[in-house]
Structure 1
Amino acid sequence: MSDTAHTPPKHTVSPELGPLLKRWRKRIDHRRITGIDSTRRRLKPGLTQDEVASLTGVASSWYRQLEGGSPRPISEQFVQRLAMTLRLEEAERVILFQLALGHAPPPPRTAPDPASYANLQSVLDALLPHPAYVSNLWWDIVAHNKPQEDWFPWLPYEPNLMRFAFLYPEARDQLVNWRSDWAIPFLAQIRFAIATHPDVPELLQLRDDILDGNEEARELWADRLAQAHPDGDVRGFSLPFHGGQEIQVRIMAFAPMSHPELRMIALVRQ
């Protein structure tokens, strides 16, 4: 693997970055990460360099050189994946961007006003023990219940379902049969959403981010499939919460009448 999306760097990576990356990866609880061998005995806590490389989609030798202080051409997409993999807080994410790219990260997307979704939150909580969430038109998750965050610990770091599915290599391990059961129908949903809301810039940006950052998505997009929603689909997960054991869930999709632009999704384990 390699960081194929990079462009020639305009900023020299700071020598302070390597030691920070090493410290950040060593504090990670590997049991919360899917896509690595969490059963083998470890002499030290945290993630290895090879595991960080795998989870961020780059070659192990490339990442070792980055952590060792060798100048590397780095893309913003890679830095975003690295921040998510290392579970960085917002202040740490700012430091990572400054040291790696020489500029601050993009501002976080505006969080919704919790009061706007108070009634929906009560519905989500009533769906316990099933994980449930509400996403907006461009798949930002704007409300969720506790089981949803237990199942998907990436939520605090990447609130957009589609960006996680296509731009983070970890998703290929968590979403069983990634290409056929997730990537193809997800892209079909994005195409349908754009067809019905062609002037929403967030949808167009989502499409462009995914196609720019995922070569396989570009290939699948050419099939021009369209799908309105996943209601009733049965799909598989392999999640840290279940110890990596594969489980099947039925996706139940609803549209609140008071907010028809939103989607309410409940995951019912089969």
Structure 2
Amino acid sequence: MGIGDRHLKDVGPSENELGQLLVSWRERLDPRRIPGIDTQRRRLRPGLTQQEVATLTGVSVTWYRALEKGQQADFSDGFLQRLTMTLRLDETERGMLFRLAVGRTPEPTRLAVDAAVDDSMQALLDAQLPNPAYITNLWWDIVAHNEPQADWFPWIPYERNTMRWAFLYPEAREQLVNWRDDWADPFLAQIRVAIAHNPESKELKKLRDDILAGNQEAAELWRENRSQVHPDGDIRRFRLPHHQKEEVPVKIMALAPLRNTQLRFIVLMRDWAPRQP
């Protein structure tokens, strides 16, 4: 994404409310708590740089600088949502970002709900402590989770869909170790099988189309036509946020409640088995 040759109109300093907010939002962040920021190679100081924000939102630093300067352009909802997560904006701040950037209020961000997820199901999630655990619906919206899940996945308040996060947010590549082979490839294989089993689902097809349109590598992998039903038993590596980039091998335990087999009950268990050299 970039400005290209589009005509841009500069806004005077006193009028550039969006730019002033963006500067204050990025300068208040703790870089140690943001996946993808190498705090060992930069002088530790509060806030993110323009370059870091640009990288984490998938745009050029020239493009992002123009945004902070108040130059007008067409901003996609996808970019504004990535910026919301990168800057860790709350719902009020997110509304300000959309209103000042595109002149409208966004749809509220909230977890999906499912009638099958009741208090007993939440209690089962909480019983998995200290392992992160969560439940997704057929098209991978998170409908419930426990507290460790929120610690491992700080993006949950900003993006409720695990597949969209994995493919459309640059931060995912920092947390999912060996992103292309161990995560992206099997995730797409699961989406392919889910669509084959549920061809009437508009949500699954939109999920596929949005991912393939928004991620070139995903489009390339999709053409390989792989299939995978579930990740149960797979061991993959995850880089923990807020923990000095600790890498944790996890075994994925995937279950389905009999009351609604379209739900996925996922537990991420640390794999303590010694790795082969």
Distance, in Å, in 2 between the alignment partners of 1:200 and 1:24 is: 38
Q: Which residue of 1 aligns with 2:142?
A: 141
Distance, in Å, in 2 between the alignment partners of 1:30 and 1:43 is: 8
Shift in alpha-carbon separation, 1:12–1:185, aligned structure 2, 3 A: farther
SS class of match (1:240): coil
Shift in alpha-carbon separation, 1:166–1:29, aligned structure 2, 3 A: same
Q: Which residue of 1 aligns with 2:153?
A: 152
Range moving further from structure 2, 69-78 or 15-24? 69-78
Shift in Å at residue 40 of structure 1? 5.0
SS class of match (2:118): helix
- Asked whether 1:205 is paired with 2:206, we answer yes
Range moving further from structure 2, 156-165 or 106-115? 106-115
Range moving further from structure 2, 70-79 or 221-230? 70-79
Q: Which residue of 1 aligns with 2:226?
A: 225
Distance, in Å, in 2 between the alignment partners of 1:52 and 1:110 is: 25
Range moving further from structure 2, 238-247 or 101-110? 101-110
Q: Which residue of 2 aligns with 1:78?
A: 79
Shift in alpha-carbon separation, 1:110–1:129, aligned structure 2, 3 A: closer
Distance, in Å, in 2 between the alignment partners of 1:199 and 1:110 is: 23
* Identity in percent: 60
Normalising by structure 2, we get a TM-score of: 0.88
Shift in alpha-carbon separation, 1:33–1:180, aligned structure 2, 3 A: same
Shift in alpha-carbon separation, 1:143–1:83, aligned structure 2, 3 A: same
Q: Which residue of 1 aligns with 2:197?
A: 196
Quick check: which has more Rg, 1 or 2?
2
Q: Which residue of 2 aligns with 1:21?
A: 22
SS class of match (1:80): helix
| 1:190-233 per-position Cα deviation (integer Å, ceiling 9, x unaligned) | 11111111111211111121112111111111112111100011
Shift in Å at residue 110 of structure 1? 6.4
- Asked whether 1:255 is paired with 2:260, we answer no
Q: Which residue of 1 aligns with 2:59?
A: 58
Normalising by structure 1, we get a TM-score of: 0.91
Extract unaligned runs of 5+ from structure 1. none
Range moving further from structure 2, 207-216 or 161-170? 207-216
* RMSD across aligned positions (CA): 2.5
SS class of match (1:72): coil
Count how many residue pairs are aligned between Structure 1 and Structure 2.
267
Distance, in Å, in 2 between the alignment partners of 1:114 and 1:92 is: 30
In 2, are the aligned partners of 1:52 and 1:85 still within 8 Å (CA)? yes
Extract unaligned runs of 5+ from structure 2. 272-277
Distance, in Å, in 2 between the alignment partners of 1:109 and 1:205 is: 19
Shift in Å at residue 36 of structure 1? 0.7
Distance, in Å, in 2 between the alignment partners of 1:40 and 1:200 is: 46
Distance, in Å, in 2 between the alignment partners of 1:146 and 1:130 is: 9
Shift in Å at residue 153 of structure 1? 0.9
Distance, in Å, in 1 between the alignment partners of 2:151 and 2:164 is: 19
Shift in Å at residue 70 of structure 1? 2.5
In 1, are the aligned partners of 2:134 and 2:149 still within 8 Å (CA)? yes
Distance, in Å, in 1 between the alignment partners of 2:36 and 2:117 is: 36
Range moving further from structure 2, 88-97 or 32-41? 32-41
The structure with higher relative contact order (CA 8 Å, sep 6+) is 1
In 2, are the aligned partners of 1:132 and 1:147 still within 8 Å (CA)? yes
SS class of match (1:78): helix
SS class of match (1:258): coil
Distance, in Å, in 1 between the alignment partners of 2:17 and 2:115 is: 38
